[in-house]
Amino acid sequence: MPSADVSHEKSALLAGVAAFTAWGLAPVYWKLLRSISATEILAHRFVWTWIFMVVLLSWQGRWPEVLGNLRNRRTALFCVASGIAIAVNWFLFIWAVNAGHVLETSLGYFMTPLFSVILGAVFLRERLTRWQFVSVLLAAGGVAYLTIDLGHLPWVALALCVSFGCYGLFRKVSGAGPTAGLFLETTMIVPLAVGFVFFLAATGAGHFQLTTPAFSLLLLTTGIVTGLPLLWFAQAARGLRLTTVGFLQYLAPSCTFCLGIFLYHEPFRRAQLVTFALIWVALAIYSADAVARWRGLRVPAAAPVV
């Protein structure tokens, strides 16, 4: 692999690690807003993220790129789809965290990489090496064990899994750059968000007021908290295989899982311990295989099997 390609892949990997670590620690931030409805938080999140992207695009001088993407019907349609997918994902995550279901959000994001692997195989014809396939089986076993132990269909976890997996696929195939793409997908939703924020202000039900400066500041910073990780994720999605992005996604639920256990003291059963162990073993195997391939040392018996 040429050195330029290696450098690009490494920068994409670092961006992916930064994005998923930030998302994994996000419950700490959203808990600060738990007295506000998830719908109001979501509306402000879209508004301030959109403003953040306007400032960033103006600073970078990338408006011609945005206009070029808008003229491409395929790109515009996929940005609409990714905007809807991330809106659903954001709402469910905020609601679940503030309703005390941090561990269930963790389960959802543990399942997402498996769903991403399936999407990559079905729609992008991506293939796994043998060691990667072993990792998938181990992770699948851990997630299945935890799901069975719950004794009921984890609908929040499944909805988070499907919405974010589809978002990753739409972002990868849209062809839009990280900054322009994020602006376009938030632009598709921001009119509704602005309307809702003004409705709350007019009825006196909103929390963005001079009388509540702490809440107002937290709502305002949702743009930065949202925008930076999504830009990192977009860079990772465009520079890495979808299967690699899928495994990086384990970082976020691992952080969230630890928050649920050690910070928020949610119940910890043997099923969670078994699942956590199996997933980290899978990650270790996958990471060793990836490092070996980056160094040009092909792992024995690494022929494609999927």
Give Cα 272 to chain centroid, integer Å: 22
Residue 159 has a pLDDT of 94
Tell me the C-alpha to C-alpha distance, in Å, between residue 298 and each of 51, 130, 253: 46, 12, 30
- Helix residue spans in 240-269 (DSSP H): 242-248, 251-258
Closest CA to 280 of 113, 156, 101: 113
How far is residue 162's CA from residue 166's CA, in Å, rounded to a whole number? 6
pTM > 0.75: yes or no: yes
Residue 276 has a pLDDT of 78
Q: Which two tokens stand for residue 22?
A: 């930030």
Three-state DSSP at 74 gives: helix
Q: Which two tokens stand for residue 200?
A: 């709350």
Three-state DSSP at 103 gives: helix
Residue 211 has a pLDDT of 64
Residue 60 burial by CB count (10 A; 0-12/13-18/19+): exposed, middle or buried? exposed
Closest CA to 68 of 167, 179, 189: 179
Give Cα 279 to chain centroid, integer Å: 18
Q: Which two tokens stand for residue 159?
A: 């909805």
Residue 306 has a pLDDT of 36
Closest CA to 266 of 14, 29, 31: 31
3-state secondary structure 160-224: HHHHHHHHHHHHHHHCCCHHHHHHHHHHCCHHHHHHHHHHHHHHCCCCCCCCCHHHHHHHHCHHH
Low-confidence ranges of the chain (pLDDT < 70): 1-6, 152, 210-211, 242-243, 246, 290-291, 293-306
CB 258 within 8 A of CB 109: no
Per this entry, what is the length of the chain?
306
Closest CA to 299 of 133, 134, 131, 138: 131
Residue 249 has a pLDDT of 75
Residue 297 has a pLDDT of 45
pLDDT (tens digit per residue) in 227-238 = 888 888 878 877
Residue 296 has a pLDDT of 63
pLDDT (tens digit per residue) in 34-85 = 989 999 999 999 999 999 999 989 998 999 999 999 999 999 999 999 999 9
